[in-house]
Amino acid sequence: MKKNFYKIAVLPGDGIGPEVVGEAVNVLQTVAETAGFHIETNYADVGGVALDKFDEPLPAKTLELCKSSDAVLLGAIGAPQYDTLPSHKRPERGLLGLREGLGLFANLRPAKVYPSLVQASSVKKELIEGIDIFIVRELTGGIYFGKPRGFDDQNGGRGFNTMMYDKNEVERIARVAFDAAQKRSKKVTSVDKANVLEVSQFWRKIVLQVAGDYPDVQLNHMYVDNCAMQLIRWPKQFDVILTGNLFGDILSDEASMLTGSLGMLPSASVGSETAMYEPVHGSAPDITGQNIANPIATIASIAMMLKYSFDRNKEAEAIETAINRILLKGYRTKDIASDGTQVVSTKEMGKLVSEQVHLLLSK
């Protein structure tokens, strides 16, 4: 039996975070009212706003709230005024702390091209039409978390980090990728730097072992530099991309540009506890407060929440269809506008999608 009451922790964060999250929560409210379930939203601070108020990027009560919720919706994190602070006092620490604290080891970043948006990409139309890539990025290990890390003062000083993966970490993320591939085109490309790094050679070995349990899924390995090139050369060759934390960070930004705008891409971070949903884009301080940010990535993250955390596929699809229809009608936020389209604000875009979702679900 599906639940009909969900507690959502809402963390708007910095920059355009509150604007895009506002629209996404409205869409979720519309879905809940129309589909007949209830949501309770509880707001908390993380990132720069939390540093301003509490002098720490992830207050304990924010993490507690997330742990006691059914899902977390995050806006964006980061603001230029903190760029010179030590890492533990930076807004990004808040996001990394959430990932670690909630055990969110798998980051799922789908990159699909909406048919009406092929013009918005800087890559040729025929190369990107119909692409449907699913990036599975390891999120709580690798060089982001490896120890030792830090600075020392020897020989004029140095900074260092450690890229490290153990068997369990590679195995569980590989399983997420193979499970996803089984429901899709049954192809996994594992991306590493095994021609140089031992950590990657180990990664390959474990991925190969896991592949043995999925005889119906085709596996290939690719070096990360080649993958970065292939994504632009022939993106249609990819189905599921399985990769580590740092490579996944870079490749998912690259993949987003195939789809036209970073403002379009949702993501889910899942693990053993409460899952977290957030747009792939950052806090965009240059356009904050202007009501021009694209809320679609965050709204599409709500669709992922409905699907992965609440097992509500019908409602998730309604959101995706609604976004598609609004784009087909020619409505665009500034980042994806082109000749002959109608530019709308953040709020207008949110309202248009909400109305469309209501229509679709009340049928």
Residue 50's binding partner among Mg ion, ligand IPM, none (Cβ under 5 to 8 angstroms by kind) is none
Determine, following the binding rule CB under 5 A, whether residue 249 of this chain makes contact with Mg ion. yes
Show the CA angle centred on residue 35, arms to residues 29 and 37, nearest 5°.
Answer: 65
Give the active site residue among 45, 165, 193, 214: 193
Q: Which residues pair with 138 in a beta bridge?
A: 106
277 is a catalytic site residue: no
Determine, following the binding rule CB under 5 A, whether residue 19 of this chain makes contact with Mg ion. no
Least distance between ligand IPM and beta carbon 82 (Å)? 12
CB atoms within 10 A of CB 348: 16
Cα 179 from Cα 242, distance rounded (Å) = 11
Structural element, H or E, at residue 267: strand 266-270
Site for ligand IPM in 71-110 (CB under 6 A): 77-78, 92, 95
Residue 197 or 250 with smaller CB distance to Mg ion: 250
144 is a catalytic site residue: yes
Structural element, H or E, at residue 107: strand 106-112
Cα 104 from Cα 99, distance rounded (Å) = 5
Least distance between ligand IPM and beta carbon 95 (Å)? 5
Residue 171 or 253 with smaller CB distance to Mg ion: 253
From the number of C-beta atoms within 10 Å of its C-beta (0-12, 13-18, 19+), residue 166 rates as exposed
Residue 78 or 271 with smaller CB distance to ligand IPM: 78
Give the active site residue among 6, 82, 144, 331: 144
Give the active site residue among 45, 192, 249, 335: 249
Least distance between ligand IPM and beta carbon 214 (Å)? 27
Q: Letter for the amino acid at 356?
A: Q
Is-contact 309 70, C-beta < 8 A? yes
Q: Which residues bind ligand IPM (CB under 6 A)?
A: 77-78, 92, 95, 249
Q: Known catalytic residues? A: 144, 193, 225, 249, 253
